[in-house]
Structure 1
């Protein structure tokens, strides 16, 4: 698809002053900003011109309670007026309460431990260090130099987590990477073949969100647990996108009924407040010792109080069930549109990938925004949906109408009349 194609499905507009400001003042690590949002409520956003949008991205699976939820607002206000930060030389009641909650929801048992950071990347950095510590003997000798991750996986953009991210085009500008990471095909056979007693850890996402909402093969997590345990390697599950109830369980690994050695969480646990965590199970919790890791702001009183309130509301309102019910309704609504562009859907709960026959995801995103709907192109053939967990029937019906219009606009602009996209796919 050419830039002219994209322009044909979205109206051109004069550059606004805020766009000039963004182009001048912000680093260019992302493309042009698509809108200037000034307010949010529930599943809706408003831009600087007062136009309302249905938000089916939620800050990329972050705003789990929706925008400006009363529980979130009250928690921020109450804790900010009490205590925000004291450093990790000390503990706070909100930090201890959130750690206990995360252990309970993850099912770690009494031996579990929690390390707090400020983002998913920081949580995965901590997990990377955990793997390295597991790879050393008591005298400090490296006995497990290998770490396994999956091709096309995404674990972050810091130098450590980028080494775990199986996307060569992301790594290329920053080579050489931190050594020791090997990337596998996402099959049980590839894992069995690669595994030996020199492996410190296997990193996996239950659903590869950035790869286009691609689930692991049936039985993969169960097999990964057995294979890693047999060889003494850690199984570390990245729940940054799949956690906090998004898939219909608190964490994606729970659908498989396994117990990992560690999980990483962020995004939805704070519903917009920056917070991340590494949660360990069993003996993995004893690997860190004083001086091996730290964070100035990690586990601050404000962030942990907000996350506790968010998780409490998800539990009180039974939003795990809502994620399952409304996720099914979204999939059914997409199927009912019966667009020739759509090849199907994948994912679980309210983390949904819409597969396209043609590489027109960017055009669909632009057309959706023109119609007042926020979605995301995970790649050129996948639309990613990750709406707030609080959406109901009204929002799903509105989504179906707006998404149908966007798909229709792209189809009319980019494909010949009466052409089946599946017949012309490259």
Structure 2
């Protein structure tokens, strides 16, 4: 009987083992997870779960009975410490050695942390990545407390939104010239800066952290603009790094994560990778797409190909972020854009359309699900309405799908 091993029990790992079964794989499946919890959703951790609007059981991607029912050996609270691709074995932290016929690495990513030299190891300095992080943060979100959020990406902004909604005085610092600079256009940055400011968040752009100080727990933060502020806790949202250590131990090729081809296969023909840990080829470049949609789609392609089906992975990126009463939905990749078209919708809805010349690349939609879906479908179909057409308020957007 064939044995397929999947290391990493997040969204990608769960999607992969589930797809193996639905596609008719009858061999043995082992899913290894470092946490004590079965696979769960991560996006709500910095949103609904942190706000107390979602209980832990609702985070689980499948009921615990699913794994036994599907004949999936779920090994929790274990990491994989070594990979031997020649022998086709994975050694677990428990000392157990698993032999595999095919292996998938869905090891995810980990948050970048502040150096200890500037106070990163003080108590109450928190990253946002897993359930333990969210549980550790929750007691600090009390009205009247003060928080410093480091990093103006989506994780930092979501955490700042939760803080403000809970009555916490939040200061957010971003070293770049503007929030969301790495991932969004200036127009989207301007929208979210205004939104957060309206809720009382103090946003400081072009400002970094000099150091944190305190007696065991953080008490003050010195910023690079010379300010010293009192803080009760600090949320660090300065990006993530793909977990590649296991892949490296097996000699797999690394390029912006674990390098995969269009079939989600790594440099070893018996090993696949998917999710945040893996890079895939897009227009001749190995890129990582840090999203739930990518984790699911890439993992399902890996499952097909572990079974020898030869299915190519064509990324169809989509993302979302919830902040206050705004739902941001993103379709496509805005890499290489040189023009942004702004389209206003009804009741404050707004969308930003990214173009490279006359080619539509991506859409940011704020409380505008209709134009988000239209933009997503246009991008996936390879259709690019003229920028002037999108800018024209009289344009029948739905008709563009039939053109």
Higher strand share: 2
With a CA cutoff of 8 Å and minimum separation of 6, indicate the structure with the bigger relative contact order: 1
